[in-house]
Amino acid sequence: MELFNSLTPPKNAIVFLGNSITERGAWGELLPGQPIMNRGIGGDNTFGVLARLEGVAKAKPKKLFLLIGINDLSRGLPKEVIINNYHRILSYLISHTPKTKIYIQSVLPLYEPFTKEAYLKNKKDSILQLNAGIKQVAEQYHIPYINLHELFADVNGDLKKELTADGIHLRPAAYVMWVEFLKKKKYL
């Protein structure tokens, strides 16, 4: 956050806001010529996003892509708390940067055979339930919901094992797929 607060944001930026999955994206290279702000922080959750919304809103971005929630689930936060935080995030953004086009992205699936930590086990149903709640919030605010879960899931609903080394984070090829998907859907 200290680094982000010390930077001068580019005008009409596209902001990618979230946790380590967002942070690891080479968005500037994936979207050459676009003003990009990568606002992913490893380990972050919805409370962390809430704590740093002021700096994001001050930048008055053109577009904002939000992906957050897996770390909330891994810490045992109830779905209702996470969904309430989504309401708080969207209310803040809409009131403080009303011209920003906001996109809500689903939480990604996991590939549990590769995850080592116990807190990342048995999350498939929780992720699906959270995504259903996030989709409802997006609909309530008339904000596009982007189902990345289906893009990255295999036939069993798990993260495609070739797209991850640790069961949660994406390999570089997955970010290329992600950007191509966003472009195909006309979000970028």
On the question of pLDDT at 5 being above 60, the answer is no
Q: Rounded to whole angstroms, how far apart are CA atoms 65 and 97?
A: 14
Q: Rounded to whole angstroms, how far apart are CA atoms 159 and 33?
A: 30
**Is beta strand 36-40 parallel, antiparallel or unpaired with respect to 145-146?**
unpaired
Provide the phi-psi class of 186: left if phi over 0, else alpha when psi is between -120 and 50, else beta.
left
Beta bridge partners of 18: 40, 67
> What percent of the chain is modeled with pLDDT above 90?
91
Q: Rounded to whole angstroms, how far apart are CA atoms 53 and 151?
A: 28
Cα-only R_g, the chain: 16
Q: How many CA atoms lie within 13 A of 55 on its CB side?
A: 19
pLDDT digits (tens, 9 = 90+) for 10-64: 689 999 999 999 999 999 999 999 999 999 999 999 999 999 999 999 999 999 9
Tokens 């090829």 locate to: 173
What is the predicted pLDDT for the residue at 7? 60
SS3 assignment, position 36? strand
On the question of pLDDT at 1 being above 80, the answer is no
Q: Rounded to whole angstroms, how far apart are CA atoms 20 and 1?
A: 14
Domains annotated for the chain, with CATH where assigned, are 2-184 (3.40.50.1110)
pLDDT band at residue 173 under the 50/70/90 scheme: very high
What is the predicted pLDDT for the residue at 176? 98
Q: How many CA atoms lie within 13 A of 42 on its CB side?
A: 4
pLDDT digits (tens, 9 = 90+) for 114-166: 998 888 899 999 999 999 999 999 999 999 999 999 999 999 999 999 999 99
